[in-house]
Chain A
Amino acid sequence: MELRIGQCRIPLGRILPRRFLAVILLVGTAVAALGAPSALAAKSLVGKKAPNFVRTGLNGARLDLKNYRGKVVLLNFWATWCAPCQIEMPIFAAWQRQDGPQGLQIIGISMDDGPTPVRKLLSKMKLTYPVAMGDAHLGELYGGVLGLPLTYLIDRNGIVRARFQGETDPKIIEKQLKLLLLRR
């Protein structure tokens, strides 16, 4: 085990006993959790029926949220100018591949001002889920998309179960997602 800070590498395993390392890891995890973004902040939509919307995806297919009833939906608002969004998207694509058969459906909504940069970016990313363009109306429908990334988890009954605003540790989202997937 080694600690990396900038360009330095510290071989912890050689210097410290395992118990001491375990304590450091525990304290570090606790500090990281405390400093994490308020992913579970109570928002008005959580616990309510997810507002339905119909869009034409950038692949030309019709995207109607209510057609995904029975699946767990991860609804991700993003944009090409949002750096943390682009960190999340390949992770979401992997989850779609992995958990799609268990009933996961990821939907991307781009809040870009137009589709041109979105198409350009999507041609480079191998996404495994549909993406449609959003707008101010859809943003308002979802309680105001006034900062990105923004992700909602919607259960199999169409109820919003979580809202993650800002740069969020994917493990936090995944943990809730897995719980929802277990519920039939």
Chain B
Amino acid sequence: MKVHVLRAGTIVLLAVFVCSFASAQISTPSDNSAFSIPKAQLIQPAELSRLLHTSGADKPLILQVGSRVLFTEAHIAGAEYAGPGSQPEGLQKLQSRVAPLSRKTLIVLYCGCCPWNRCPNIAPAIRLLHTLGFTRAKALYLADNFGTDWAEKGYPVERGR
């Protein structure tokens, strides 16, 4: 009986492994998924906070590319609203904002409207900046949302605008 169960268990585990591998090969993140953003283009909240607090450090231009209502409630201190990255008009606004800047400008984009894997805004926005040649454009990795991963951690926030 034990041998039978062990053998059956092994078969199931092997099947699970093979199917998981096959699924991983088939399902790559869609272009608009935040998972499509290369790791090299991400910045973590703690790292951004350090940058903002370090005197003499290269201060980034911080742009929120999500909801205006959520931005008005609270946003990263010094950040500007740039329009939702999931909408053509939002991307147009972002493009206009960065047009006069040097392509070497350090820019941090963030959204935090929803859990990272569900955010419709951040991937199109960061892709646009890299397409435009902004090699130092980074996306702030907010795993759950702006409240949980930034505001509630005590990182600097502002209200209004």
Decide whether A and B assemble into one complex: yes
| Residues of A in contact with B (beta carbons under 8 Å apart) | 3, 5-8, 10, 12, 15-17, 20, 37, 79, 81-85, 111-113, 134-136, 139-140, 144-149, 165-167
Asked, given contacts A15-B11, A81-B121, A146-B151, whether A139 binds B73 with beta carbons under 8 Å apart, the answer is: yes
Query: CB < 8 Å: which of B16, B27, B67, B151 contacts A10?
Result: B16
Residues facing A in B117-161 (CB within 8 A) are 118, 120-121, 144-148, 151, 159
**Chain B neighbourhood of A140, CB < 8 A:** 73, 159
Instruction: Find out whether the CB atom of A148 lies under 8 angstroms from the CB atom of B12.
Output: no
In this complex, what residue of A is CB-closest to B1?
A17
Which 10 interchain pairs have the tightest Cβ spacing?
A147-B145, A6-B23, A146-B147, A8-B19, A5-B19, A136-B72, A136-B73, A113-B68, A139-B73, A146-B146
- Give A140 to B157 CA distance when docked, in angstroms: 14
Query: CB < 8 Å: which of A12, A15, A112, A148 contacts B145?
Result: A148
Instruction: Find out whether the CB atom of B22 lies under 8 angstroms from the CB atom of A7.
Output: yes
**Chain A neighbourhood of B73, CB < 8 A:** 136, 139-140, 144-146
Query: CB < 8 Å: which of A7, A20, A82, A147 contacts B147?
Result: A147
**Chain B neighbourhood of A145, CB < 8 A:** 70, 73, 147
Query: 16 A–B contact pairs at CB < 8 A?
Result: A3-B12, A5-B19, A37-B144, A79-B67, A83-B120, A112-B69, A139-B70, A140-B159, A144-B151, A146-B112, A147-B70, A147-B115, A147-B145, A147-B148, A148-B114, A165-B147
**Chain B neighbourhood of A12, CB < 8 A:** 12
Query: CB < 8 Å: which of B19, B68, B72 contacts A6?
Result: B19
- Give A89 to B107 CA distance when docked, in angstroms: 36
Instruction: Find out whether the CB atom of B145 lies under 8 angstroms from the CB atom of A167.
Output: no
In this complex, what residue of A is CB-closest to B143?
A166
- Give A12 to B12 CA distance when docked, in angstroms: 8
Instruction: Find out whether the CB atom of B148 lies under 8 angstroms from the CB atom of A83.
Output: no
**Chain A neighbourhood of B8, CB < 8 A:** 15-17, 20
Asked, given contacts A6-B23, A15-B8, A15-B12, whether A84 binds B114 with beta carbons under 8 Å apart, the answer is: yes
B20 interfacial by beta-carbon distance below 8 Å: yes
- Give A166 to B114 CA distance when docked, in angstroms: 7
**Taking the nearest CB of chain A, how far is it from the CB of B92, in angstroms?**
16
B74 interfacial by beta-carbon distance below 8 Å: yes
- Give A15 to B147 CA distance when docked, in angstroms: 46
- Give A148 to B114 CA distance when docked, in angstroms: 5
**Chain A neighbourhood of B146, CB < 8 A:** 146-147
Instruction: Find out whether the CB atom of B70 lies under 8 angstroms from the CB atom of A146.
Output: yes
**Taking the nearest CB of chain B, how far is it from the CB of A176, in angstroms?**
20
Instruction: Find out whether the CB atom of B86 lies under 8 angstroms from the CB atom of A20.
Output: no
Instruction: Find out whether the CB atom of B144 lies under 8 angstroms from the CB atom of A7.
Output: no
Instruction: Find out whether the CB atom of B74 lies under 8 angstroms from the CB atom of A144.
Output: yes
Query: CB < 8 Å: which of A20, A85, A113, A149 contacts B69?
Result: A113
Instruction: Find out whether the CB atom of A147 lies under 8 angstroms from the CB atom of B112.
Output: yes
Residues facing A in B54-109 (CB within 8 A) are 66-70, 72-74, 84, 86
